[in-house]
Amino acid sequence: MAAPRRRTSAELQMNGGLMPPSAHVIPSSRGGGGGGAPSREDHPVTTNGGGPAHRAAKPRGGGSSVCSATKVSGRRRPAGRMPLWRVFIFASVALNVAALPLLLHQYIVNQPHHPGVVSPDQQRHACAPQPGTSGAAARAPSTGKPSVTSDSVINLDHGDPTMFEAFWRETGDAAELVIPGWQTMSYFSDVGNVCWFMEPLFDQQVRRLHRTVGNAAVDGYHVLVGTGSTQLFMAALYALSPADADQPTSVVSTAPYYSSYPAVTDFLRSGLFRWAGDANSFVGDSYIELVCSPNNPDGAIRDAVLSSGAGKAVHDLAYYWPQYTPITRRADHDIMLFTVSKSTGHAGTRIGWALVKDREVARRMTKFVELNTIGVSKDSQLRAAKVLGAVSDGYDVGGGGASRHRLFDFGRRKMVERWRMLREAAAASGIFSLPEETSGRCNFANETAANNPAFAWLRCDREDVEDCAGFLRGHKILTRSGNQFGADPRYVRVSMLDRDDAYDIFISRLASLK
């Protein structure tokens, strides 16, 4: 009786319901070695590399299905060779893959300015400390506005205090701060304080700086922190407006007044308060008067002009610092607002503070900030505290010597020089005028000092120009029109706090206008 025919692997997989065999190779159970009959499933072949390999058996009947059973043969079929064209294709692909990393490296090195490609040299330059900075400062995420050229539009509309960058670049690590990952995670800072989200170190450094400068009383005052002084201005309006009044409390300020006062006051259309314009023309007993001194935009020293038992005053002293004006007295008003933006130049930190006498007013202002932003960034508070501490250290009589970095000295030198340049440019042009220079005895510097405001209140005197901001815009100089300050549009406010390159171009253009 004839022995039963051995079934092929293809037949086993077809009949057994298994997955079809691979279209590439079905290996022999006996390998590719010598003696013994070859496998019925497949035939051993040799690749160009000399190693054993297998190829699928030819389907029965000349068909193309890989699942067809192989024809049983009693003799061994000759081994086939891989076609040469396949060899060439394989070799070409292998060479291209091997060469790709080398080609890419050469492309990056030779094309460093291609968009999206950063060369190794660029990476090293970006990470290398720049002159006058430490490594951490050199890796700062941004530098604010781009640099300008003689053809650029010069934007002096905003009071962006980048003039102070030059000072802080020279201070090394005096104002640098590292915050561990576990720190400042809680909402709370000092639960025993009226302002429960204020960092104690920030409170301490605010009081220290005011005692150093002598521009504001701090004993007997509550210190409150806000996201810039603008938030604290809004908090003061909320705290001083009676909740049960028949009509909103009128908010006023003497013109020219800070352009943001009307916009911020009426932004939410509150039922508690509303903007009522120039304090000089206001009639009534109930009001909140905003007193900005030195004044934004004209730099004038201001006092409240209204007096009423039902009226309240908020003193905005953002510019009452020695680089801008003589410190003639220690201010002791009921509510005083300050900000790091104009005192130290750190506008991006977004930190302001208020000195408030009355505990209940302080509590209501704190409640506003709580409802508005659930407190104030602790990271920003700690950075502001470090910066304020560095400023005070520069004037600490017990430490350092002539090499100490003194912010107010730097700021005053810059402002004196810039105002001299501006007055000369206005005179050379012949079509602009500026307020008269004033001076006074500065208790901080212990000498007579001129008033050099952070903004210039510039008037265009040319008869055919009624819109000074529009006229300057035509010469690529952006300023803020006087009509936004409740004043004549022949006036503009010009920021004096930009970087040197922008300010120098502005001066050159202004002097050339006739």
User: Which three-class secondary structure string do you get for 405-417?
Assistant: CCHHHHHHHHHHH
Cross-strand partners of 73? none
Residue 148 has pLDDT above 60, yes or no: yes
Where does the pLDDT of residue 418 fall: very low under 50, low under 70, confident under 90, or very high at 90 and above?
A: very high
Mean pLDDT of the chain: 82
How far apart CA 255 and CA 456 sit, in angstroms, is 15
| Tens-digit pLDDT profile for residues 16-52 | 443 333 334 334 443 444 444 344 334 333 334 444 3
Specify the amino acid at residue 252: V
CB 365 within 8 A of CB 356: yes
Where does the pLDDT of residue 404 fall: very low under 50, low under 70, confident under 90, or very high at 90 and above?
A: confident
Q: How many residues does the chain have?
A: 514
Read off the tokens for 162: 């980048």
Q: Among 81-85, 281-285, 419-423, name the one with the lowest average pLDDT.
A: 81-85
pLDDT on residue 117: 37
Mean pLDDT confidence for 420-438: 97
How far apart CA 57 and CA 79 sit, in angstroms, is 12
High-pLDDT (> 90) share of the chain, %? 69
Q: Among 76-90, 99-113, 300-314, name the one with the lowest average pLDDT.
A: 99-113
pLDDT on residue 139: 57
Q: Among 31-40, 130-139, 423-432, name the one with the lowest average pLDDT.
A: 31-40
Residue 10 has pLDDT above 90, yes or no: no
| Tens-digit pLDDT profile for residues 376-399 | 999 999 999 999 999 999 999 775
Phi, psi values for residue 477, rounded to 5°: -125, 115
Residue 150 has pLDDT above 80, yes or no: yes
Read off the tokens for 491: 């006036």
pLDDT on residue 59: 42
Three-state SS at 106: helix
Domains for the chain: give ranges and CATH numbers. Answer: 154-166+406-512 (3.90.1150.10), 184-394 (3.40.640.10)
Q: How many CB atoms lie within 10 A of CB 37?
A: 9
pLDDT on residue 83: 67
Residue 233 has pLDDT above 80, yes or no: yes
| Tens-digit pLDDT profile for residues 323-336 | 999 999 999 999 99
Residues 6+ apart with CB under 8 A from 230: 260, 264, 352
Mean pLDDT confidence for 89-113: 54
Where does the pLDDT of residue 144 fall: very low under 50, low under 70, confident under 90, or very high at 90 and above?
A: confident
pTM here? 0.73
Return the higher-pLDDT residue of 78 and 331.
Answer: 331
* Tokens 């002293």, residue located: 317
